[in-house]
Homo-oligomer: A and B are copies of this chain.
Amino acid sequence: MSPAARKAPKKEDRSDQLEEARRLWRAFVEQRGLNSSKTRDAVVDVFFETTAHATLQDLFDAARKRQTGVSFATVYRTMRLLDEAGLADARNFGEGKSTLYEVAAGRAHHDHLICEACGKIVEFVDEDVETLQDQIARRYGFSLLRHRHELYGLCATCHPRGGA
């Protein structure tokens, strides 16, 4: 990757996405007849600016840093709204672990690779798998609504003879 290539290119996309997400949120709020709220908007913003997968606790902590007085309950209720709005996806990787929220607005469907050593989460898309899933569902007479496909292993860095 050339030095120049690292600079501008993605940045606009990102802030466009952010803007689009906020627009969708406002639309949802209106369409649903909700009041506007400074506290909730702070949580929404914190979430939209999130790059990684975040737990309620993460979001709560982050929100507190910019808006004191946010309660866990509000973070919880806000994330539920975002989920209903289709702007957030709630994911559960592994047994007792907390639910992770990821930004869904304007993002394509994808699945996950999870490193069991360092916890790194990589998103992937594979059309062939998607196609096969449809075939499998049909084979058993199911109509497919959604799926969960997670691959657990060790990332390059965590391999016994891992690169890096």
How many Å lie between the Cα of A156 and that of B140 in the bound state? 8
Interface size class of A (residues with CB under 8 A): 35 or more
A110–chain B nearest beta-carbon distance, Å: 11
Q: For the complex, give the distance between the alpha carbons of A97 and B92 in Å.
A: 11
Interface contact A151-B155, CB-CB below 8 Å:
no
Are B154 and A136 neighbours in the complex by a CB distance under 8 Å? Answer: no
Determine the distance from Cα of A150 to Cα of B148 in the docked complex, in whole angstroms: 5
Which of A106-164 touch B at CB < 8 Å?
Answer: 113, 115-116, 122, 124, 126, 128-129, 132-133, 136-137, 139-156, 159, 163
Judging by beta carbons under 8 Å apart, are B141 and A145 in contact? no
Question: Quick one: given A132-B126, A132-B128, A132-B132, are A163 and B149 in contact (CB under 8 Å)?
Answer: no
* A129 proximity list for chain B (CB < 8 A): 129, 132-133, 136
Contact of A152 among B132, B141, B146 (CB under 8 A): B146
A137 touches B150 (CB 8 A): no
A–B pairs, 24, beta carbons within 8 Å: A90-B95, A95-B99, A113-B136, A113-B142, A115-B142, A116-B145, A122-B140, A124-B136, A126-B136, A129-B129, A132-B132, A137-B151, A137-B153, A141-B155, A141-B156, A141-B163, A142-B153, A142-B154, A142-B155, A144-B151, A146-B153, A147-B149, A148-B148, A148-B149
